[in-house]
Structure 1
Amino acid sequence: PDTIVADQPIDLAGYRPDNADGVFSGDISMRQALILSKNTVPVMLLDAVGVPAFLSRFRTVGKPLQLGTSDAEAGLAVALGGVGVSPEQLTWFYSAIANEGELKELRFAPGDRRRSLGNLFSPAAANAVADILADVPPPAGRARLAAQDGTRRVAFKTGTSYGFRDAWAVGFDKLHTVGVWIGRPDGAPHLGAYGVSAAAPVMMQVFDALPVPKKGAAAGRKPLGALASPRSLPERLRRFGSTPAYQTREPLEILYPREGAQIAAQRDQGETFSLPLKVAGGRPPYRWTVLGEELAPEPTGERWAAISGRGQIDIAVTDADGKVDKATFWFE
């Protein structure tokens, strides 16, 4: 959980996941990345582990994910929920985190026996994830639920699928795992329904009605293999990957010419003028478009462009992540 990773724009064989809020935070811990729902981090982790290896864990316990393709052909979108899974299955998988990684058959009546299907996660991994999810802030207007001993009662996560077709929240305490799905039976979008604002409050209401456990969701002895403290991290686990420390990237912005500027042009030859172009932020290389003509990529934030004629001039710049800034100005 305390391993540092760079939350920054990535390009993995053409796949460029973005964060839901469009913000990249730079160097953060794995704990922060999960709490803040950063999309880039799980994609990088899955790329390192390998999609087939990840999917095989679910096949091992007899619960393969629905892909519509073979494991070998599945892409990195699996890390962000690009698989078929029912609310029941999703809640079931979360119950394994609550049960130190062991997946057991669901119990639909008090007398049902719960046969073990095997370990979906290691006890150490399940413990670490439970501890992180217990730190997820409660939905707006709600206080954090506490167990009888005063510790964090509920560990939970929320999600919102592409196009607002699914809003979900799954949480667990020492006694129960609760899953809530909000959407339309026909799969149509439910605009504005986010997991954290639509499903999480309902999930909390369910926990309000359930018995309060003696201990919190993350309470208990650390399993064999878990680290005693962040300071005990071995060198190889202190940072994920070899990416250097990343500084939060400033928004792409045209510095010159500014929007609405009126420029007294200096004549070079005939009616052609040399115009300096300056941009800040974003990620190079930069591709400028002047009067509809795209210029060659430029690795720095400055270049010159030849302008013919006077009057209104439209320019635009696109960075390596596809971000765009535009400006309109006038040559006098």
Structure 2
Amino acid sequence: MTIEPAIGIGISVFGAILLIAGIVGLIRDGRRIATPVYLVMGLGLVSIGAGLLLNNLGHPALLTIVLVVMGSILVLGNIVGYPALVIFLLYSGITIWRKETRTLGNALALLAGIALFFLPATLRWLAPPETVSLDAEYKARYALHLAVVLIVSYFGFTFAAFIAASLLYRWRPIRNAPEAIIVLGSGLISGKVPPLLAARLDRGIAVHRDFNDAPVIIPSGGQGSDEPRPEGMAMREYLLDNGISRDKVVAETESRNTEENLRFSRKLLSSPTAPVVVATSSYHIFRAALLTRALEMRAHVVGAPTKWYYFPSALLREFIGVIRDRLWFTVLAIIVLIILAISFTAIIIPAMGPGV
């Protein structure tokens, strides 16, 4: 079967535009969730378009390979990837529940694993009967099932893009010598620097040494209601105890969250656009990077190692934070998906007719 060459050319051109946008975005900044989406979609469309053009010329090999690869990814993702993800989330969730404090944040991996385990059965339960009916109850159930599928798919796709963008960002080298290294706070225990925060400070010290001890280190954190002193002061003390010169440490002690860490630390720079490195935990890298982009900072974010079992819950918490930061966009996306589900139901059910 042949397809009009214009279709193959159009698909290839559109794919090339997306691919170029993804490559440029990755090289210039990398602090965008859309970047891996452009890269994957662009590469896929270029491959399909080129395959269609070659197929018209009597060379179907490329198109066949592309279709086989895409089909294999889809099948393996459902048969192997989905169960593996459920098992991993349950295992890591149980492990962190046993080894760390039992908080809602630490339970996210376990809750996600349980939700994904029951998701297929839930979708089957919501699905309308196989026999089509034109009554309002059938249409409502069809629209509800379709809306839930679309919303679940949206969050799954967005989370996959978030993971991909996070991984791509981690591979970026530090390109500009920083004026300062901002170390983000994470809370004190009995007024002392706990291991998680110490790891962030150690990461900041490592970057400081990489640039011949030139950058100033800004430990950033205010005083919580359950803390006897500002976090920034305890962090400063840790840095001095680990060999950093006093003239190279400027504490920020007023912030209450990550955005304020960055805003208030930026005021201590010679210029709001001075290049900086931000040190945090590995799971927190990309959300911190998104915040630096929103604040128009010339920043590169690096992360300290995190225990493997802690990572899934922490990453889910970060994703929820990103959703919260862009709540208006998420709400708008959900409304659009619900409208699409209702509109599709209103069109497709009468077209199918009763008893189909």
Q: Which has the higher strand share?
A: 1
Higher relative contact order at CA 8 Å, sep ≥6: structure 1 or structure 2?
2
TM-score (norm 1): 0.22
